Amino acid sequence: MNLKRTLENIENQFEMFQILNEEGEIVNEDFMPDLSDEDLKEIMRRMVYTRILDQRSIALNRQGRLGFYAPTAGQEASQLGSQFALEKEDFILPGYRDVPQLIWHGLPLYQAFLFSRGHHKGNQMPEGVNAVSPQIIIGAQITQTAGVGLGYKKRGENAVAITYTGDGGASQGDFYEGINFAGAFGAQAIFVVQNNRFAISVPVEKQSAAQTIAQKAVAAGIEGIQVDGMDVLAVYAATKDARERAVNGEGPTLIETLTYRYGPHTMAGDDPTRYRTEDEDNEWEKKDPIVRFRKFLEAKGLWSEEEENELIEKTKEEIKAAVKEADNTPKQTVTDLIGIMHEELPSNLKEQMEEYKEKESK
Amino acid sequence: MAQMTMIQAITDAMRTELKNDENVLVFGEDVGQNGGVFRATEGLQKEFGEDRVFDTPLAESGIGGMSIGLALTGFRPVPEIQFFGFVYEVMDAISGQMARYRYRSGGTRPMPITVRSPFGGGVHTPELHADSLEGLMAQQPGLRVVIPSNPYDAKGLLISSIRNNDPVIFLEHMKLYRSFREEVPEEEYTVDLDKAAVKREGTDVTLVAYGAMVHSSLKAAEELEKDGISAEVIDLRTVSPVDYETILESVKKTNRAVVVQEAQKQAGIAANVVSEIQEKAILHLEAPVLRVAAPDTVYAFTQAEEVWLPNHNTIVEKVNDVMNF
Ligand SMILES: Cc1ncc(C[n+]2csc(CCOP(=O)(O)OP(=O)(O)O)c2C)c(N)n1
Ligand SMILES: [Mg+2]
């Protein structure tokens, strides 16, 4: 009847998994993933590209040239390390902050900008890109992931469903239902919780009495792991492993990544100084995923400042071109909206279609 | 008297009731330390402590259910749903539970809960933030639905809602939060629930509206006046139950009516208002009662929002239709 000890035993088992420490040194050789030098460089390129994209997106938003935007700086290892472990046929169900994963899974950048601007074309995944547009309702994607993962299992696909939410999202009923359903049905699914310590202003300590989010896997009877979310190799290795087990019929996995968002929650007026200290910001910036990975690559002679600068310039050009392409997309109309409501227009919308066609032709 | 925006008036109402009644509790996502994403609860945690004003875990269903439990223990909860598009997450707690508790318990379990929530279009929010979902709430017997259109009413109506022993869904149009200031008494006062207000008197046509559409209707009335059409504008303030007495009195005078809502034509509450007018005043009508509403799609993607939403021009058009019938 020592209930306290039972709980402590469970909690103590969820220790943070790390491969690369803050100095860029391998501390967990046994789990070093089998990645070629070219793969390692590609991971770095993606992280740098995404950091620049974040900076430019913030600037564009301030100029009124982008709409809704949730900054990503700080979370690159969590977002891109997990995405890099996927195959093209895997299905992503992202949250609103997870646009980078979509881009690396095949969503053209100009469409990501259209999503931000509120245009339905931003939500249309190109043929062959297995993903849905970012979910705004926190948690809704999690139960859907159990469904995609079960669908894949039923069809005998060699693929997984992966979803992303935050520390706040792990409080939603949908989160518990999603991991529980996935466990009950053996869905081929991976649930990533990016624990960046805050849900807008609310610190993770106020979300739950549980010491870790990873331990919530226990109640669902699935495997769970807490990962250093600033260590791209650890996130990659954990996701790769989860993917393998999922497609081998060994069940779903919950991955908690410990990370931080450097910027505001979104660009719509959030002021982090109201709820975080500068000390905390500084402490986390020391753990930066790009700094740490750069050190690692430089030590291996795989990366140089020139290479990075070249990449930054190229990235900026690509962003510029994508903004232009978004600008050139015909503006959203109400008849577009009516047209995408149903396969066959019901009578009320037929009438309204005519009404708006006339208005728009003026 | 002080000049206040609607959001300041709302904060002031909560402050007043937190002071008046120790059973009042204010909580929700980000309402504590951060003072709410719109600053509706700014300073309240500091003033009343974390026991009375607090952040919750991120789960609307939990917020709704916990409110019911707190009401069962004698508290008077004022939970916030951060944006009303998230109401789907808490539909069971609101419509399946709190609306029916008094009834289910044979009249013995009151639910003095005021669910506050921002909604409304025109401020470029992402999906499921701006939707006008008051119609869903109005369809549920047992709920009162209140939508203020100005700072003065917001404070008085919110105090009345918090003091009411039945559940109130108190919806705050985001576009009105800071769009203008007006004189609001610093002392406490109430505005009656279930009572509409005549915002402008007129003789030719009655415009019935609520929320931000009250202002669009007033603007339309000004334009119509230039063409010699005198429009009366009614602000419903409580959209469920509707104050039909005020509407019918007006329609019997003007003999024409247009009902204006931001919600889609198939949603909202305009259809109810039209039905009641024709049931009770058909012999007074010179023209069919028309509706101004958004088209029957899901809420517009942001880029088309301005065209999708009704505005004073669409109201003027419909009024001309009833005048020329
Ligand atoms: C159902 C629902 N409730 C509330 C919100 C408003 N909201 C948007 S983001 C957010 C905090 C989310 O925090 P977390 O899950 O930790 O993710 P993060 O933003 O930190 O990436 C909240 C409360 C929402 N979008 N959906
Ligand atoms: Mg978070």
pLDDT average, residue stretch A18-39: 98
Q: What is the pLDDT of residue A302?
A: 98
Fold of B1-182: Rossmann fold (3.40.50)
Residue B14 Cα to ligand 2 middle (Å)? 28
A100 cis-preceded (ω within 30 degrees of 0)? no
Residue A265: CB partners within 8 Å, gap ≥ 6? Answer: A70, A71, A198, A200, A201, A272
How far does residue B187's CA lie from ligand 1's centre (Å)? 36
Which range (A6-10, A167-171, B259-263) has the least confidence? A6-10
Closest atom of ligand 1 to A265 CA is: 19
- Residues A345, A314, single domain; the answer is no
Does ipTM surpass 0.95 in this model?
yes
- Pocket test residue of A175, A191, A200 for ligand 1, highest count of atoms within 8 A of CB: A200
Query: Does residue A5 fall inside a structural domain?
Result: no
Q: Is the Cβ of B59 closer than 8 Å to some Cβ of chain A?
A: yes
CB distance A348–B266 less than 8 Å? yes
Q: What does the pLDDT read at residue B61?
A: 98
Using alpha carbons, select from A195, A244, A192, A187 the residue that is nearest to residue A221: A187
Q: What is the mean pLDDT of chain B?
A: 98
The reply to whether A4 falls in a domain is no
Together in a domain, A16 and A147: yes
Tens of pLDDT along A121-132?
999 999 999 999
For residue B1, the model assigns a pLDDT of 80
Domains contained in chain A, number? 2
For B184-198, what is each residue's pLDDT tens digit?
Answer: 999 999 999 999 999
Pocket test for ligand 1, best of A68, A96, A196, A265 (most atoms within 8 A of CB): A265
Give the other-Cβ count within 10 Å of A45's Cβ. Answer: 17
A297/A192 same-domain check: yes
Q: Note the ligand closest to the C-alpha atom of A171.
A: 1
Instruction: Find the mean pLDDT for residues A206-214.
Output: 97
Q: Is B25 left (phi over 0), alpha (psi -120 to 50) or beta?
A: beta
Task: State yes or no: is B129 an active-site residue.
Answer: yes
Q: What is the pLDDT of residues A50-106, one digit of tens each?
A: 999 999 999 999 999 999 999 999 999 999 999 999 999 999 999 999 999 999 999
**Per-residue pLDDT tens digits for B93-111:** 999 999 999 999 999 999 9
Task: Look up the pTM and report it.
Answer: 0.98
Same structural domain, A350 and A234: no
Name which of A337, A338, A361 to mutate to probe chain B: the one with the most chain B Cβ atoms within 10 A of its Cβ: A337
Closest CA in chain A for residue B83: A137
Quick check: A131 and A62 in contact, CB under 8 A? Answer: no
Whether residue A193 sits in one domain with residue A297:
yes
pLDDT score of B149 more than 90? yes
Look at ligand 1, atom 20, and give the residue with the nearest C-alpha: A199
Tokens in use for A197? 């310590």
Domain locations in chain B? 1-182, 195-322
Q: Could you tell me if residue A169 is inside a domain? A: yes
Taking contacts as CB-CB distances below 8 angstroms, the residues of chain B near A168 are 29, 57-58
What is the CB < 6 Å shell around ligand 1? A 97, 136-138, 165-169, 196, 198-200, 265; B 29, 58, 60, 82, 86, 89
Q: What is the mean pLDDT of residues B66-86?
A: 98
Q: DSSP letter at A331?
A: P
- For residue A32, name the pLDDT band (cuts at 50, 70, 90): very high
Q: Looking at the predicted structure, is the pLDDT value of residue B230 above 90? A: yes
**What rounded mean pLDDT belongs to chain A?**
97
Angle between helices A232-247 and A289-299 (to 10 degrees): 90
Mean pLDDT confidence for B205-233: 98
Q: Per the residue annotation, which of A275, A276, A294, A342 is the catalytic one?
A: A275
In this complex, the residue of A274, A331, A341 whose CB is nearest that of residue B297 is A341
The one catalytic residue in B129, B173, B215, B312 is B129
Q: Do B303 and A138 touch (CB under 8 A)?
A: no
List all residues 6 or more positions away from B171 whose beta carbon is below 8 Å from its beta carbon.
Answer: B84, B117, B118, B119, B120, B134, B145, B146, B147, B211
Ligand 1 nearest atom to the CA of residue A207, by list position: 16
Residue A38 in domain? yes
Chain B residues touching A199 at Cβ < 8 A: 29-30, 58
Q: Are B206 and B153 in contact (CB under 8 A)?
A: no
Same domain for A218 and A357?
Answer: no
Quick check: A201 contacting B, CB < 8 Å? yes
Tell whether A6 is covered by a domain.
no
* DSSP conformational letter for A163: E
Instruction: Using alpha carbons, list the distances in angstroms from residue A90 to A161, A235, A347, B64, B127.
Output: 6, 17, 39, 36, 25
Is residue A50 within 8 A of residue A71, CB to CB? The reply is no
Which A residues in the span 262-321 are in contact with B, Cβ-Cβ below 8 Å?
A: 268-270, 274-275
Together in a domain, A249 and A344: no
> Which of A327, A333, A342, A353 to substitute to test the interface with B, most B CBs within 10 Å?
A333
Answer yes or no: do A237 and A354 share one domain. no
Q: Which atom of ligand 1 lies at the shortest distance from residue A95's CA?
A: 21
Q: Does residue B67 register a pLDDT over 90?
A: yes
pLDDT of A162: 99
CB atoms within 10 A of CB B49: 11
d(CA A232, CA B243): 61
Containing structural domain, residue A130: 11-330
Do B125 and A118 meet the contact criterion of CB atoms below 8 Å apart?
no
> In this predicted structure, what is the pLDDT of residue A362?
86
A345 vs A333: CA distance, rounded Å:
17
For A297, residues 6+ apart whose C-beta sits below 8 A from its C-beta are A40, A41, A44, A303
Q: Which amino acid is at B141?
A: P
Query: Which chain B residues touch A355 with a CB distance below 8 Å?
Result: 295
How many Cβ atoms from other residues are within 10 Å of residue A55's Cβ?
17
Are residue A237 and residue A112 in the same domain, yes or no?
yes
Give the A window 57-116 contacts with B, CB below 8 Å: 67-68, 96
Q: Rounded to whole angstroms, what are the CA distances from A197 to A3, A8, B43?
A: 28, 22, 23
Measured between alpha carbons, how far apart are the two ends of chain A, in Å?
77
> Which of the residues B303, B307, B308, B317 would you substitute to probe the A interface, choosing the one with the greatest number of A C-beta atoms within 10 Å?
B303
Q: What is the mean pLDDT of residues B258-280?
A: 98
Residue B72's pLDDT band, with cuts at 50, 70 and 90, is: very high
C-beta atoms of B304 and A169 within 8 A: no
Would A3 be classed as within a structural domain? no
Domain B195-322 has CATH 3.40.50.920: yes
* Contact A334/B at CB under 8 A: yes
Backbone angles phi and psi of A39, in degrees to 5: -60, -45
Q: From the CA atom positions of chain A, what is the Rg in Å?
A: 21
pLDDT the model gives residue A1: 85
Ligand in closest contact with the CA of A96: 1
Average pLDDT over residues A183-206: 98
Ligand closest in space to the Cα of B29: 1
AA identity, residue B300? A
**CA A49/CA A319 separation, integer angstroms:** 10
Q: Which residues of A touch B264 (CB under 8 A)?
A: none
Name the closest ligand to CA A139: 1
Same-domain pairing of A19 and A97: yes
Tell me the DSSP string of B238-295: EEES--HHHHHHHHHHHS-EEEEEEEETTSSSHHHHHHHHHHHHGGG-SSPPEEEEE-
Catalytic residue among A117, A261, A292, A294, which?
A261
Domain membership flag for residue A265: yes
Which pLDDT score is estimated for A204? 98
If you measure CA to CA, which chain A residue comes closest to B266? A348
- Ligand 2 centre to CA of A22 (Å) is 22
How many angstroms is it from A115 CA to the middle of ligand 1?
Answer: 18
Let me know whether A256 and A352 are in one domain: no
Q: In the structure encoding, which two tokens stand for residue B103, read together?
A: 């009834």
Give A114-161 pLDDT, tens digit per residue. Answer: 999 999 999 999 999 999 999 999 999 999 999 999 999 999 999 999
A41 pLDDT band, cuts 50/70/90, is very high
The answer to whether residue A43 is domain-embedded is yes
Could you tell me if A286 and A349 lie in one domain?
Answer: no
Question: Residue B76 and residue B18: Cα distance in Å, rounded?
Answer: 10
DSSP secondary structure string for all residues of B22-74: TTEEEEETT-STT--TTSTTTTHHHHH-TTTEEE--S-HHHHHHHHHHHHHTT
Q: Which member of A51, A117, A119, A265 is catalytic?
A: A265
- Residue A175's CATH number: 3.40.50.970
